[in-house]
Structure 1
């Protein structure tokens, strides 16, 4: 797909078509593309002046939110093609690296608000390759696939296109050079079907292991001043074709080996709002600490109902205001093999971060002078150990 769309002189897109049975053209009002002009005065003493009425969401509604945008396979053609002609329900749009025009504004003098916040501004050359990937992946994560088994290959062309520019190893939706940050992707169901694909080909530490969600890759989280709490020892996937590093993998075949501190916790979810924010009451071996989990359970409440839960601190801000964690459950606990089931953001407001790195004291361990006063003297720091996430 990289060669097909990347080398095309022009990609013609049936943006309004719901499926392959519908073509480029549809019935539309002949004057529907002309923006209306009205004369309007803004005060009793002002003279009427002509104003053009513009739908400020024209591009978003016609192109970004068209039927085409809901199909995952088409993300590659939108991203890789340098010139695209969109046939939408009401008019034709054209886009290349430097211009966005349509029948309503054929000279390209489109008001800036028509093209702001476009999800696929990743085609602009000013964006860094890693940011291009993040934009494309987030758009792709919202799209639908007929076959769950296409999850990896339907975006492989974009990954291949950026592979050389990044000079990095691709790991099923994530990149090795930025892996610590990218492991902290978040998922939001937004009322959709939030679950694992069946069969699930990707490893649980990749955002490709969930479907029906919009994903925030978080590639720049804590990019300016942060502390790492894990070390990546080894990360690999078993490719179906080793000559195609961005291609498909054998089902759930790969491993992520990490050195870090695991903390078993207990929690009870409570609805916090009508959106995706949920509040959880956290219990650290008897110490209750409230925390906020934001738009990030992979399949949290169903997956964790009867399972042991562990938090793995990954990153924290230098100021210590918050800590980003992975939520893990054991697959083979004796062998320290886990799978990811969510992402957790913990505030340090009430001392919860202190308990996150400590367990009930089993031996001699020094504590701060204020430890006894706050009841911390019975706790010791959790030693780091190797674990695997599959």
Structure 2
């Protein structure tokens, strides 16, 4: 194979000839924008890929409207698109998302500094793309990738076939698409459709403008049929994908739910689990901010396709930060699911998190690549046979780890039931699996609460589909966002976002103070069960009366009755540092240690620059670890002395940090207090 064209600067990089330009071990690549531009015009295969990747990153940053430290003028050129030129530096070798060695490059133009990672690896060790991508994600080659994955899934994946709830289910309404001239779309009621048809769903961002929608005004027109060219681009391209896979019925939320009828919306919201679970696949407009952006994207193939480079010599063989002789793949800007999918505009929406979880098969139309995701496989155009890892212990929080764990558990239970000739649903009894599911749920909740909701009142509604499936598997019930079966641990949540980002959304008191659903911010869990074994953790309270579910307003019960011990807590809260200042007083225990414990207030929006806080510490559970003891609890305040009712105002986690033993001292004092019965409301 002939070696590709390389500029002298890149040849020097491969030889190990480098010039240090800063004390953080950045080395010079192109010393000027003229040098970089010359290499591009020369056709240097590495610099061409670098430039394409810088372009991509710069475009992404502007699209996300992130602050960029730019000067008012810059050395930019325009040729159909903005070109970034600048001197470049690099740092050898860091670690890439794929685990391969990589070089981290910076582009320092007069406009801004952009950075990217180029993955490298010796031929035979780094797996390059199996398929080189085409120019546009809507071309025949891209469609063939989808068709191949879909056919293989239908033919080979037992878990995908078994994950549907009912083969007879149909949504209330569907769109029937026709390719006859002119191509049209017609709204159909369930009664007009054969129960044996397959349908697809579309997951998309509405954006700032309401897409074409079903209302009492447009109902008759949609029932009679409209031409496809009257629909937004995303809808038209979704129809094309569905028909390429032999599907003639499509479900789109804005066209299948009345947007001016609250009762219809409430009724349909309860069916979301069945709508997405029974669809044959979901088309995800992952990269589109609204319905006018479409699914298909032009892309720079050179930024995605690798180049093979040979190295025959280098300056210092003993230096580990140079290239030994051999052949290497250079791949700029590797596209991974966490960047292409999880960080994309679509997956910042809370409703979409549920849609992705419930769908048996999802086709992700990202900015650069198509991804196929189903119950048994996660692949891309460049690696159609690769199964991107799905670590159920991953802390990324996206819906896939929880979904994979639930599907695997359900499938395993089904096999066991068939083997033992049992009928009906067996209750999950494997304690480790149960713990894993609760832990995965907590991580998913952290991801979910970072997503956007147009209506904060939908916080729990947009979880109904997932919570119903998880609840059935665990034989548990989600009440105000907390699992009753693990209620003590579920109470131990806290707001991640600093004071100015929190917003209380339950002025009507429909949601109790102990529910995280009151807050529009990211919610984290206390110390998770996998941090220490159940033998070393103990409940500090006894719940005597549980809250009731929300199926009917008459039966709602917001309070939790428990026997516990309350300890006075007093300190001064600093708004500037979002933390408490010393001394911290726990009953008779006074701490002056600068190693302050993890204590968070739920609501600091009304807090002045500094404010005295006096409340009660309610320790919910305690445990032991190698260096001492620890406990987790809530900060509560008395709101009704007659009924002994308390409201939650914060979270507290303390562990011994030798030589200080604050947790042990507080727990010893806690043991001397008297039991009492209170209501947490």
**Counterpart secondary structure, 2:441:** helix
Determine if contact 2:303/2:331 at 8 Å carries over to the other structure.
no
Matched, 1:23 2:331: no
Q: Aligned pair in 2 of structure 1 residues 42, 323: CA closer, same or farther (>3 Å)?
A: farther
Determine the C-alpha separation between the residues in 2 that align with 1:295 and 1:256.
22
Match of 2:374 among 85, 96, 99: 96
> Are positions 1:313 and 2:619 aligned together?
yes
Q: Is the 8 A contact 2:341 2:364 kept in 1?
A: yes
Offset at 1:42? 8.1
8 Å CA contact 1:201–1:251 kept in 2: the answer is no
CA 1:87/1:76 → structure 2, altered by over 3 Å: closer, same or farther? same
Aligned match of 2:402 in 122, 129, 135? 122
Query: Cα–Cα, structure 1 residues 92 and 161, in superposed 2: closer, same or farther, change >3 Å?
Result: same
Choose the corresponding residue for 1:4, options 272, 275, 282. 275
Deviation (angstroms), 1:31: 4.5
> What is the match of residue 246 of structure 1?
none
Q: Give the structure 2 partner of residue 267 of structure 1.
A: 571
1:85 is matched with which residue? Answer: 363
1:188 is matched with 496
Higher helix proportion: 2
Counterpart contact for 2:598–2:654, Cα < 8 Å: no
* 2:331 corresponds to: 53
1:247-326 paired onto structure 2 within 5 Å: 254-269=558-573, 281-284=583-586, 287-289=589-591, 290=593, 292-294=596-598, 296-300=600-604, 302=606, 305=611, 308-318=614-624, 321-326=629-634
Hey, what's the Cα distance between the residues in 2 that align with 1:98 and 1:52? 30
Aligned partner of 1:33 in structure 2 is: 304
After superposition, the C-alpha distances for 1:226-279 in whole angstroms (9 at most, x for unaligned) are 12110111121352x34xxxxxx6899511111101111111235897xx7766
Give the CA deviation at 1:160. 0.5
In structure 1, how many angstroms separate the alpha carbons of the residues matched to 2:395 and 2:588? 46
**1:212 aligns to 2:521 (yes or no):** yes
Alignment partner of 2:558: what SS?
strand
Between the aligned partners of 1:382 and 1:208, the Cα distance in structure 2 is 32
On the 8 A contact 1:322/1:347 being kept in 2, the answer is yes
1-structure distance, mates of 2:299, 2:350: 27
Matched, 1:230 2:541: yes
CA contact (8 A) 1:172 1:202 kept: yes
Q: Deviations over 1:64-108 (max 9, x none)?
A: 111122111111011111211111112211112232211232332
Relative distance call for 1:151 and 1:318 in structure 2 (3 A) is: same
2:314, 2:387 → 1: CA distance? 28
8 Å CA contact 1:38–1:53 kept in 2: the answer is no
Structure 1 residues 24-81: Cα deviation after superposition (integer angstroms, max 9, x where no partner):
2344335443244444468457433122426467221111111122111111011111
1:27–1:56 distance in 2 versus 1, CA, 3 Å: closer
Contact (CA 8 Å) 2:633, 2:652: kept in 1 or not?
yes
- What's the counterpart of residue 387 of structure 1? 678
Tell me, yes or no, if structure 1 residue 345 matches structure 2 residue 653: yes
Tell me how far apart the structure 1 counterparts of residues 438 and 313 of structure 2 sit (CA, whole Å). Answer: 47
Alpha-carbon distance between aligned partners in 2 of 1:324 and 1:292, rounded to the nearest angstrom: 14
Q: Counterpart of 1:136?
A: 444
Query: CA RMSD of the aligned region, Å?
Result: 3.5
Following superposition, the deviation at residue 325 of structure 1 comes to 1.4
Deviates more, 1:143-152 or 1:229-238: 229-238
The structure number with the bigger radius of gyration is 2
Q: Is the 8 A contact 2:447 2:522 kept in 1?
A: no
Q: 1:307 to 1:20 in 2, by over 3 A?
A: farther
Report the alpha carbon displacement of residue 339 of structure 1 after superposing the two structures with TM: 1.3
Whether the 8 Å CA contact 2:546–2:561 is kept in 1: the answer is yes
Distance 2:389 2:676 in 1: 56
Answer with 341-350 or 61-70: which moved more.
341-350
CA separation of 1:182/1:116 partners in 2, compared to 1, >3 Å: closer, same or farther? closer
TM-score normalised by structure 2 residue count: 0.47
Q: Paired residue for 2:484?
A: 176
Residue segments in structure 2 that go unaligned for 5+ positions in a row:
1-271, 318-323, 410-432
Q: Aligned partners of 2:585, 2:447: CA distance in 1, in Å?
A: 36
Once residues 16 and 338 of structure 1 are traced to their aligned partners in structure 2, the CA distance between those partners, rounded to angstroms, is 46
Higher share in strand: 1
